[in-house]
Structure 1
Amino acid sequence: MKNATLLGCCAAWLLVLASSHPARAADDLPNIVVIYADDLGFGDLSCYNDDAPYKTPRLDQMAAEGIRFTDAHSPSTICSPSRYGLFSGQQIYRSTGRGGGAFEGPSGPSYLKPGTLTIADMLKQQGYRTGVFGKWHVGLSWFDKDGKRLGGGFENSLLIDYEKSTPLIDGPNARGFDESFVTPNCPNTDPLYVYIENGMVPTPASVRHQRDTLPNPGGKWRWDNDEGWKSPGYDFVNADLLFYEKTKAFITDHVRQTPDKPFFAVLSTQIAHAPVLPAKEFNGVTDAGPRADFVWELDAIVGRVIDLLNELDIDDDTLVLFNSDNGAETLHVHWMRQDHQHDPSGGWRGMKRDGWEGGHRVPFIARWPGHIPPGQVTDQMTNTTDIFATVASVVGVALPDDAATDSFDMLPVMLGQQPETDPIRPHLLTQSFRGEFQIRQGHWKYLDHQGSGGNGYEQGSMALYALPEQEPDAPGQLYNLKTDPGETTNLYFKEEAKRKELQALLEKLKTSGRSAPIGRKPFRN
């Protein structure tokens, strides 16, 4: 009965998409590559930060050849809920009812529930071959020998019955991807440390990882490498080079074997998540320490992807999107500020986990030669969830109203067809570490909570960045980002009418089941 229900859901989606809009001809469909960075702050690229103590030449080049968004945001201020937003086009509360944490150990089930239309589902139904490589981290179902679903906890890794657990019932290949090579959690931080290839685990976890077997750049940058169970031969230091090679093989094989069919590839890196473990060839390439070397490695990988597209003579036929899942990690921000006078948050208040801008304002760059005019910089407000509707527009799909319900089509902006004075988004939702909401409307921002929504700023290194709260009795925060981009002056009481307006809008969006418009149609250039 369960399998019949799932098949029925898939068939229903197929019929809806097929009837909602005629698919474009295969030779009119571009290849699509998403490069999804991890814990990369707004100020971590030199094209976003003139004061960065290092350069990111390939990403700067990508921005110069396409469009760079300066008001782009992650759906959440931590990784797993943001990844749900990328794949589903929705805020995490659509799946959980509120917030969502990050997974550790053999924990799940997936935030991507059965029946959820994913971006890979949608593209696969339009004739794309789909692949994802790198960090998955939206939850997976693992079972013990008695068929009981396992939860988090490092020791539970040894209880996995791989015969009963694989092929994974909610892995990438069950969510629209034809090919996958992923890790279940953060590749270098959270056990279970195994590789999953097309829903199977070639080498189960049987060895206890000891962090002192890894390099420790600068004596501190190995921080946040948890000890737990791993597969023999699991490679921490070369993780992203491995993910790139898997992506390269997928693209190369596809172009050689089925050149008349488009592909969709997601390269989900673990840079610049803790621990900072740049591959050997990148050690010391900058003058700003190990984390800068790490970001340089990410930049080089982006360059290798673009070079590969050129080598295969498909560059002009490929849309490349670069984005990050949230702001930079707390100690990374602190150490880079103290040691190298570099601000990964790019001048914005807050960092990873926080509802302030530094927690969710992130880089977003798009490049598509011959289609996206070069040299564009836009302050159009956008969210990672918008990638779904934008890609749907690219391939000519009118999305059903009950799919990707927080996704707006940014293609007109990318193509240079949308005036800056005419915003695509009338509003934008984000969620912080505890699932609390923030809402933007123009330059006004309301935080439906006190404090950061994530980190504590009472002691230790974080106390250096604490700001006095002028309205300590206010249950929420209201800021005018046009006059107060640092979110220093809480206008909760002084601008009562605007605050009530945003509170009412937030409640409406939460209860209506969507924040995106209904009846979305593909944009035609």
Structure 2
Amino acid sequence: MNLSLRLRATVGLFVWAVGLGGLGSTGDQAAAQELPNVIIIYADDLGYGDLSCYNPDAAYQTPRIDQLAQQGVRFTDAHSPSTICSPSRYGLFSGQQIYRSTGRGGGAFEGPGGPSYLKPGTLTIAQMLKTKGYRTGVFGKWHVGLTWYDENNQRLGNGFKNSLLIDYEKSTPLIDGPNARGFDESFVTPNCPNTDPLYVYIENGMVLEPASMRHKRDTLPNPGGKWRWDNDEGWMSPGYDFMNADLLFYDKTEAFITEHRKQTPDQPFFAVLSTQIAHAPVLPAEQFNGATEAGPRGDFVWELDVLVGRVMDLVQRLDIDDNTLILFNSDNGAETVHVDWMRRDHNHDASGGWRGMKRDGWEGGHRVPFIARWPGRIPPGRVSRQMTNTTDIFATLASIVGYTLADEDATDSFDMLPVLLGTQDESQSIRPHLLTQSFRGEFQLRQGDWKYLDHTGSGGNNYDSPNMRPYALPETAPDASGQLYNLKTDPGETTNLFFSEQAKRVEMQQLLERLKTSGRSAPKNRQPIGINNL
């Protein structure tokens, strides 16, 4: 990076820090010393059945993630906000469904796509934690949109050709990157690290090396032949490393945590390790090739398992294990061809027995792994059937740190702290309902065992295509405009009760309209529990 860019980065970060009020008062710092460190490990396209602690018939083992579950709580009814990545990441960072930002659905960004779904004035989870004295960092896949300008100060949009039109002097420091949304430290890629150009690294709002080289997919190693699918050709920066992306993201996370503990050991930290495993293309680092007998994708998930183990070992080595909450989650279900190929080649069901996969409104598209571990606070070895959404992480962390959420903040976020602590009666659901959105932005609504899909078909994938046709099910209510299932008696979503349970269907349709028009699905006047009351 040249001197001019370095100076602009320093000035930009200083102005941003002042705008947020720095790290708070001395009193805030003193209180912050009692608060736990928080690490979120956010997996990509990892299905419900992709971990051995969720799937006893998995074609490989995930011992370190299983250990994480054994030492904490594993949720079996956890859901991503959306069935694709960018809207789900918005849900993680904002505590809200994507239609709060866009008015309906939200796609995934490519090229210099933006602006950010995280609009100015939307409280982010990092900004919330900063008010309580946390130092915050995010490392890996960002993918919620960024604003890029050309030489005429015109904002650029999606499109691989637009990558060459970026004026980096005018575009950086990024006005809506992680450091403008509450993160003190960041090392990210704008889109899917190995799938969607623009292929560049962004550190603290600055592009380390502009995209000036044309990437060709045939330059990559090709383990297993077909597994290189979905590596788009486009523009990349010199030295961009496709094969070791997640190793790099872990190294940046470790450096952030280690340096923070060295410099300010009495200040809590919040770190997000946003991996690209197990998104297509399947490109495990060289040292993991052949690690399992389940082909390249099995090796890829094994790499993720190793990285989770390294996080666990790191907090143990730094002697902060007992005061660190680790959350493990995925942004949606497994990719279509991955589900197909793993079933055919390795008798492995990445959807874990649920109908559907990535992009679908059926359970396989949004029912995902969710594990929480906090030694001494979360009783170990528990399995919870509580219905929860990734959006709930926001209110749960606010409850821990004693932050009172305003009604306009995190409007789809419920406090799941009593479930984590094991004080909630499992027969009593904290959530009276739960919203998800499929690829096209259409809604799915849960209420207890009942599930209403406000659309026909999958909401995402075309089950008339050759590779999907084997997984198509007969339509039991072909004239219906939506779908109604009872997951207790029909977990496979095979029998549409749209007409036969008309009263329940109308009730859920009316509830969905109220939730959409009220501007929130979470309760008002949420009060945090606070760590001193745990």
TM-score after normalising by structure 1: 0.96
Confirm or deny: 8 A CA contact 1:23 1:395 kept in the other structure: no
Confirm or deny: 8 A CA contact 1:23 1:397 kept in the other structure: no
Question: 2:218, 2:19 → 1: CA distance?
Answer: 51
Secondary structure class of the residue paired with 2:386: coil
In structure 2, the partner of 1:263 is 269
Secondary structure class of the residue paired with 1:217: coil
- Asked if 1:509 is matched to 2:512, the reply is no
In structure 2, the partner of 1:280 is 286
Q: What per-residue deviation string (whole Å, max 9, x for no partner) do you get for residues 121-146 of structure 1?
A: 00011100000000000000000000
Map residues 305-316 of structure 1 onto 2, 5 A cutoff: 305-316=311-322
Gaps (5+ residues) in structure 2? Answer: 1-13
Map residues 16-415 of structure 1 onto 2, 5 A cutoff: 25-415=31-421
Question: 1:444, 1:23 → 2: CA distance?
Answer: 46
Describe the shift of the 1:12–1:396 C-alpha distance in structure 2 as closer, same or farther (beyond 3 A): farther
Secondary structure class of the residue paired with 1:218: coil
Describe the shift of the 1:10–1:515 C-alpha distance in structure 2 as closer, same or farther (beyond 3 A): farther
Amino acid corresponding to residue 265 of structure 2 in structure 1: P
Shift of 1:191: 0.1
Amino acid corresponding to residue 106 of structure 1 in structure 2: P
Q: Percent identity?
A: 78
Shift of 1:493: 0.2
Secondary structure class of the residue paired with 1:63: helix
Q: What per-residue deviation string (whole Å, max 9, x for no partner) do you get for residues 347-375 of structure 1?
A: 00000000000000000000000100000
Confirm or deny: 8 A CA contact 2:29 2:133 kept in the other structure: no
Q: What per-residue deviation string (whole Å, max 9, x for no partner) do you get for residues 411-442 of structure 1?
A: 10000000101111000000000000000000
Shift of 1:522: 1.1
Q: What per-residue deviation string (whole Å, max 9, x for no partner) do you get for residues 45-100 of structure 1?
A: 00000000110000000000000000000000000000000000000000000000
- Asked if 1:445 is matched to 2:451, the reply is yes
Describe the shift of the 1:160–1:371 C-alpha distance in structure 2 as closer, same or farther (beyond 3 A): same
Describe the shift of the 1:341–1:85 C-alpha distance in structure 2 as closer, same or farther (beyond 3 A): same
Question: 2:35, 2:429 → 1: CA distance?
Answer: 27
Q: What per-residue deviation string (whole Å, max 9, x for no partner) do you get for residues 286-332 of structure 1?
A: 01110000000000000001100011111111000000000000000
Question: 2:450, 2:30 → 1: CA distance?
Answer: 39
Amino acid corresponding to residue 266 of structure 1 in structure 2: V
In structure 2, the partner of 1:4 is none
- Asked if 1:497 is matched to 2:489, the reply is no
Secondary structure class of the residue paired with 2:207: coil
Secondary structure class of the residue paired with 2:247: helix
Runs of 4+ in 1 over 3 A off after TM superposition: 9-14
In structure 1, the partner of 2:422 is 416
Secondary structure class of the residue paired with 1:430: strand
Confirm or deny: 8 A CA contact 1:24 1:396 kept in the other structure: no
Amino acid corresponding to residue 232 of structure 1 in structure 2: P
Question: 1:379, 1:94 → 2: CA distance?
Answer: 27
Describe the shift of the 1:100–1:10 C-alpha distance in structure 2 as closer, same or farther (beyond 3 A): farther
Confirm or deny: 8 A CA contact 2:48 2:369 kept in the other structure: yes
- Asked if 1:460 is matched to 2:456, the reply is no
Shift of 1:188: 0.1
Shift of 1:27: 2.4
Confirm or deny: 8 A CA contact 1:38 1:272 kept in the other structure: yes
Describe the shift of the 1:289–1:522 C-alpha distance in structure 2 as closer, same or farther (beyond 3 A): same
Describe the shift of the 1:111–1:10 C-alpha distance in structure 2 as closer, same or farther (beyond 3 A): farther
Question: 2:18, 2:170 → 1: CA distance?
Answer: 27
Question: 2:280, 2:18 → 1: CA distance?
Answer: 41
TM-score after normalising by structure 2: 0.95
Secondary structure class of the residue paired with 2:206: coil
Secondary structure class of the residue paired with 1:25: helix
Amino acid corresponding to residue 90 of structure 2 in structure 1: Y
Describe the shift of the 1:521–1:217 C-alpha distance in structure 2 as closer, same or farther (beyond 3 A): same
Amino acid corresponding to residue 47 of structure 1 in structure 2: C
Shift of 1:26: 2.0
- Larger deviation, residues 395-404 vs 441-450: 395-404
Gaps (5+ residues) in structure 1? Answer: 1-6
Amino acid corresponding to residue 75 of structure 1 in structure 2: P
Question: 1:470, 1:386 → 2: CA distance?
Answer: 34
Confirm or deny: 8 A CA contact 1:10 1:115 kept in the other structure: no
1:479 aligned to which of 485, 508, 511: 485
Q: What per-residue deviation string (whole Å, max 9, x for no partner) do you get for residues 210-242 of structure 1?
A: 000001111100000000000000000000000
Question: 1:456, 1:171 → 2: CA distance?
Answer: 34
Secondary structure class of the residue paired with 1:245: helix
Shift of 1:459: 2.4
Describe the shift of the 1:120–1:500 C-alpha distance in structure 2 as closer, same or farther (beyond 3 A): same
Shift of 1:202: 1.2
Question: 2:165, 2:235 → 1: CA distance?
Answer: 11
Confirm or deny: 8 A CA contact 1:24 1:395 kept in the other structure: no
Secondary structure class of the residue paired with 2:224: helix
Question: 1:11, 1:145 → 2: CA distance?
Answer: 29
Shift of 1:380: 0.1
Confirm or deny: 8 A CA contact 1:87 1:120 kept in the other structure: yes
Amino acid corresponding to residue 356 of structure 2 in structure 1: G
Confirm or deny: 8 A CA contact 2:29 2:267 kept in the other structure: no
Shift of 1:10: 11
Confirm or deny: 8 A CA contact 1:130 1:176 kept in the other structure: yes
Secondary structure class of the residue paired with 1:380: strand
Q: Tell me the matched-pair count.
A: 516
Superposition CA RMSD, Å: 1.9
